């Protein structure tokens, strides 16, 4: 996917230490898996790469996970909206 730890760190104004980048990489991986499993886990990465909305959704969820690792209040509404749109476009299963 196009989301990289360095880019997310820049957008969140987080220092790019080895520890922070490692944390962000793990959160991006988790967010990517959560979004894919919410939309259509059977699709390959190339199918998702066609939709910039996928990267926005992963970025949104990774950001939420950074600030609230347990997602105590659930997924952000913006993430849910993007997942709904991706399901409609990609035939959610």
Angstrom distance (rounded) from CA 76 to CA 63: 10
| Structure confidence by residue, pLDDT tens digits, 32-86 | 999 999 999 899 999 998 999 999 999 999 999 999 999 998 999 999 999 999 9
Number of structural domains found in the chain: 1
The domain of 10 spans 5-90
DSSP 65: H
- For the whole model, what pTM was predicted? 0.91
First to last CA, the chain: 20
């Amino acid at each position: 996917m196009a989301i990289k730890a360095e880019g997310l760190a820049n957008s969140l104004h987080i220092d790019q230490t080895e520890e922070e980048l490692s944390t962000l990489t793990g959160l991006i991986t988790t967010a990517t898996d959560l979004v894919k499993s919410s939309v259509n886990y059977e699709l390959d990465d190339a199918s998702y790469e066609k939709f910039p909305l996928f990267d926005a959704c992963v970025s949104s969820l990774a950001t939420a996970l950074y600030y609230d690792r347990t997602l105590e209040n659930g997924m952000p509404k913006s993430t849910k909206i993007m997942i709904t749109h991706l399901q409609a476009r990609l035939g959610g299963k």
